[in-house]
Chain A
């Protein structure tokens, strides 16, 4: 019971963030209480943190890599590329943004799409005289739903990756079909949902040519290839990402007039407090799992990876992600279904696509932010909620069926 209370406090703190304190301010003490109070042994907590270590290290490195790519102008270049390819057509701009958002999410993780790509896409649409709603919502939706392809695309994938027993390329190969299915469903939903905005004509504006940041693009491509190549040699992807980040960082710092400040910005972009939060959350969830949650979840989840089993796990994962947020949902679900890799992948489909339903991560966050917004501004329209209500069930279904087909194919081949 105490473990439930601890997790509730950690998650509530992360939602409310009193006085703007970082989430780790509650998660780390809660983890200490869980260990000190005997809810989980120190040895188990230490093992959990050792297990989370490479994941958290990778997270820090990929956050820095995205920040550096931005500093090198990669996102500005992507915006210019989109504007040129769109030639003044809102529909073509949506198509190009879909491609760019899916690629950025897959390679640089969903944080990069939400934080760095979305404002660029808005500015691109505005400069092109296009109503930006469809393209902006596409970025936020694909940050979640488009993160199925690579293990590096989402923190949830990283947390579950070792449980799948797949290699980097094996993961990508199995998830390629679900990923494409989700992109196709999202695209169809967007074309229909935003038909009005997309039909509004725009006048093609001249787009200034922008040079490609070749060096940064080459480093990113090599880093991506490195993820796949280094793994058979036993090198964790965190080291590859860190290597890419260093190669991008050194020339920037050397060139900068305020070297200290540039270096500090890069160091801060790894978001160390977030990393502590993940450690703390991992221990608190472990305490909860040890005190009955594992048995409860095991009773709810099917044991075989047939189509019904995959659907059940994905739906349960999506539901859990909307109740407690997708990172704790992953920590709770994956160990229970780890006996069957197919079910782990189905759980990932649920926790990655599911958040688009309440879009702020969880019901509690949604309610809390509505309360906050009601104070200063009239409540905004619920376009996001309606969009999620339509796209999430369709995407879940399409992705699970595609996963089922991919799993069948992999046993046949």
Chain B
């Protein structure tokens, strides 16, 4: 069994924990981190916008690139330590969603974390790249909450014009049996 674990800032711990729980001992686990070069290149562009400043040696985009590589290494190392079993790291550069989908090719399971608001159950509990990955993944996807999931009653009520007719309304909640 091949398991790919997508590590992203702020949520990767939950993915690693979930992988450790569900992957059988025989599974091969890949820890994946993707860096989107767009951020550093936008910063380079902003620097280029300051007319007349000259040579590229002071280009902050390059400094950002170096910092990003350093941060990715640190995250992969921390994730491997947290997983505490054999795994192989993989680093990619490009559009997050495209790289993750292509890294999941041939895998049996992709572990992904939600990355929207964690105080309620949706809507929009997935940012656009994550939504794309869940939509397009070429394998099974395990979608985990980065924190304890919020209670079910945090779902907003349905909009009035779509409310079910009275006779089909949901029955009152059963009494608690705790």
Question: Which residues of A line the B interface, CB within 8 A?
Answer: 11, 14, 20, 22-24, 27, 90, 110-111, 114-116, 118-119, 122-123, 125-127, 129-133, 136-137, 140, 143, 196-197, 199-203, 271, 273-274, 277-278, 281, 325-328, 355, 358-362, 365-366, 369, 373, 377-378, 380-381, 383-384
Contacts and interface: CB of A to CB of B under 8 A. Distances in A.
Nearest to A274: B52
Contacts of A326: 51
Contacts of B13: 203
Contacts of A20: 55-56
A2 B51 CA distance: 22
B95 A378 contact: yes
8 contacts: A11-B51, A110-B50, A122-B64, A132-B9, A200-B11, A365-B49, A366-B45, A384-B46
A137 B39 CA distance: 8
Interface string B23-67: 000000000000011110111011111111111101010011001
Interface stretch (B114-122, B157-165, B168-176): B114-122
A277 B50 CA distance: 12
A366 to B, nearest CB: 8
Contacts of B115: 196, 199-200
Contacts of A373: 41
Given A202-B10, A203-B10, A360 B38 contact: no
B71 interface: yes
B50 A111 contact: yes
A378 to B, nearest CB: 7
Contacts of B53: 111, 271, 274
Contacts of A366: 45
A196 B124 contact: yes
A57 B50 CA distance: 18
Contact of B10 (A27, A123, A201): A201
B9 A359 contact: no
A190 B52 CA distance: 29
B6 to A, nearest CB: 14
Given A203-B10, A377-B41, A196 B128 contact: yes
Interface of B: 8-11, 13, 36-39, 41-43, 45-56, 58, 60, 63-64, 67-68, 70-71, 94-95, 115-118, 124, 127-128, 146-147
A326 B155 CA distance: 49
B48 A361 contact: yes
A131 B71 CA distance: 11
A327 B56 CA distance: 20
B51 A361 contact: yes
A200 B64 CA distance: 21
Contacts of A358: 49
A111 B47 CA distance: 8
Contacts of B58: 115
B55 to A, nearest CB: 7
Contact of B51 (A14, A143, A377): A14
Contact of A196 (B55, B70, B127): B127
B54 A199 contact: no
B118 to A, nearest CB: 5
Nearest to B43: A118
Which are the 8 A-B pairs with shortest beta-carbon distances? A361-B49, A380-B38, A126-B71, A119-B63, A196-B127, A140-B46, A199-B117, A277-B52
Contacts of B41: 373, 377, 380
B55 A140 contact: no
A376 B48 CA distance: 18
B9 A202 contact: yes
Contact of B42 (A129, A202, A365, A383): A383
B42 A130 contact: no
Given A118-B43, A201-B118, A14 B127 contact: no
Contacts of A114: 43, 46-47, 50, 60
B52 A327 contact: yes
Contacts of B128: 196
Contacts of A119: 60, 63-64, 67
B149 to A, nearest CB: 12
A380 to B, nearest CB: 3
Nearest to A116: B60
Contacts of A202: 9-10
Contact of A384 (B42, B54, B68): B42
Contacts of B56: 20
Contacts of B55: 20, 22
A396 B137 CA distance: 43
A359 B39 contact: no
A25 to B, nearest CB: 10
A196 B130 CA distance: 11
A366 B70 CA distance: 29
